[in-house]
Amino acid sequence: MIIFIFSTVYTANAQKVLNEYETKWVLEAKSQLMTALSDIDMSDSERLKIVQKSAITLKEYGQASIWPAGDIPLQKFMDAQFQQCKDEIVEMSAWSLNLEHKTLDQKMKLINTMQIEVIENQVQLLIPGSTPVQLTSDAISTVFGINIVSGVSGGKSQDAKDLVIRFKELAKSKKLVTHLNVLIENHQNSLQLINNDRNLLKKKVLLWKKAYVNAYSGVFTMKGYEGAILAQERESPRVQSNSIEGTWKFGYKETGYFYLTFKPNGEFVFEDKMNDGDTETGKYSVQGNIVKLVGPTGECGKTEGLYPFVINGDDLQFKKIEDECLSRKYTLNHLWERK
């Protein structure tokens, strides 16, 4: 009888293990919260609903608060945009000053060394030894009079050639520096707008955090669920449709493929089977729908890249890429298919 009583007490005090459905609800609450704190396209009303709902679910099922310490992913992403815009203003100012003191022949040689990459509705300009400058199709159209539309009127290659021709025409008429200065002024206006958005976001984050804290403290943990732990997976882990984990490929049967594998341990592996290249590795972490990449060491060193991503079924696409490592940026700018 005594043994039976001791056994009963031990069982009653054992830590609660959530069942399969409860675990699913908790994981969804965590995932949705991080998406709400990182998705730049989500409306504020939807974001607030998710923040409050996630807090309530976590508290009810005995889970600790998971509001990020420091800046949320949205703030980090906007800070990266602000810094990139600042760097581009400095770079374009240096270009303008440099071109102003060069002869026409020297200007032509400099234009010929430029690398131009058309990515969707944006254009990347790179002069060897300089920081890349990213311009929108609207800026190109307004300042240089070139209509950049990917895949139309000859495609990306022709768009790049047309822009080079336009640069040379402006150089001959001694108007290139003037146009670059207009571009710099546009970037300065953009910088101010980004900074205004950053300041507004800080105020919104305070409101979202307050709503989260109030929702979390405003409900009770269900009896017996204090400090509950998640159910262990009894089957082999299976990659969910909204998870970046797993192997993705880009390419064609005729040319071969690139393979990109995101491992559960935070390591990613890039295999170049298209060009018989090397296999390289790096590190990654995910917050909501933003993945941060570091590496591969050989190509990008310790340069970090922030990549908002969207998974639609078996397709993975990176959006509005912020990355100073051009080789990584250009490689990932494709539609990837789950292997």
- Same domain (yes/no): 297, 275: yes
Instruction: For 133-148, write each residue's pLDDT tens digit.
Output: 777 777 777 888 777 6
232 pLDDT tier (thresholds 50, 70, 90): low
Question: Is the Cβ–Cβ distance between 55 and 220 less than 8 Å?
Answer: no
- Same domain (yes/no): 112, 176: yes
Average pLDDT (253-274) is: 84
**pLDDT score for 143:** 81
315-318/290-294 β-pairing? unpaired
Asked whether residue 239 is domain-assigned, the answer is: no
Asked whether residue 234 is domain-assigned, the answer is: no
- Same domain (yes/no): 166, 110: yes
**pLDDT at residue 10 is higher than 60:** no
- Same domain (yes/no): 120, 159: yes
**pLDDT at residue 300 is higher than 90:** no
321: nearest Cα among 68, 122, 87: 122
**pLDDT score for 234:** 38
**pLDDT score for 238:** 43
Residue 250 CA, distance from chain mean position:
19
Asked whether residue 238 is domain-assigned, the answer is: no
Q: From CA 183, how far away is CA 231, in angstroms rounded? A: 56
**pLDDT at residue 250 is higher than 60:** yes
**pLDDT score for 95:** 80
Instruction: Classify 226 as helix, strand or coil.
Output: coil
**pLDDT score for 146:** 75
- Same domain (yes/no): 41, 92: no
Q: From CA 140, how far away is CA 187, in angstroms rounded? A: 12
Q: From CA 95, how far away is CA 127, in angstroms rounded? A: 9
- Same domain (yes/no): 114, 177: yes
Q: From CA 232, how far away is CA 49, in angstroms rounded? A: 29
- Same domain (yes/no): 92, 106: yes
Higher pLDDT, 260 or 81: 260
Question: Is the Cβ–Cβ distance between 191 and 86 less than 8 Å?
Answer: yes
Total tally of structural domains belonging to the chain: 3
Q: From CA 235, how far away is CA 241, in angstroms rounded? A: 17
Question: Is the Cβ–Cβ distance between 311 and 241 less than 8 Å?
Answer: yes
**pLDDT score for 156:** 62
Token pair, residue 13, equals 């005090």
The parent domain of residue 175 ranges over 75-191
Question: Is the Cβ–Cβ distance between 309 and 293 less than 8 Å?
Answer: no
- Same domain (yes/no): 32, 60: yes
**pLDDT score for 4:** 37
Asked whether residue 8 is domain-assigned, the answer is: yes
Q: Which of 81-95, 170-184, 292-306 has the lowest mean pLDDT?
A: 292-306
Token pair, residue 269, equals 């592996």
Q: From CA 189, how far away is CA 182, in angstroms rounded? A: 11
Residue 279 φ/ψ, nearest 5 degrees? -100, 125
Alpha carbon separation from 251 to 82, 121, 150, 152, 234 (Å, rounded):
34, 22, 19, 22, 36
**pLDDT score for 308:** 85
Average pLDDT (53-61) is: 95
**pLDDT score for 76:** 86
- Same domain (yes/no): 52, 97: no
317 pLDDT tier (thresholds 50, 70, 90): confident
214 pLDDT tier (thresholds 50, 70, 90): very high
- Same domain (yes/no): 20, 160: no
Higher pLDDT, 114 or 35: 35
Higher pLDDT, 218 or 230: 218
Asked whether residue 233 is domain-assigned, the answer is: no
Helices (H) and strands (E) in the chain, counts: 10, 12
Asked whether residue 196 is domain-assigned, the answer is: no
322-332 exposure pattern, b = at least 16 Cβ within 10 A, e = fewer: bbbbeebbeeb
Which class for 183: exposed (0-12), middle (13-18), buried (19 or more C-beta within 10 A)?
buried
Instruction: Write the CATH number for 299.
Output: 2.40.128
**pLDDT at residue 216 is higher than 90:** yes
187: nearest Cα among 146, 143, 130: 143
Asked whether residue 226 is domain-assigned, the answer is: no
- Same domain (yes/no): 63, 102: no
- DSSP code of residue 40: T
**pLDDT at residue 276 is higher than 90:** no
Q: From CA 165, how far away is CA 64, in angstroms rounded? A: 60
**pLDDT score for 119:** 65
**pLDDT score for 152:** 42
**pLDDT score for 11:** 40
**pLDDT at residue 295 is higher than 60:** yes
Asked whether residue 240 is domain-assigned, the answer is: no
- Same domain (yes/no): 322, 268: yes
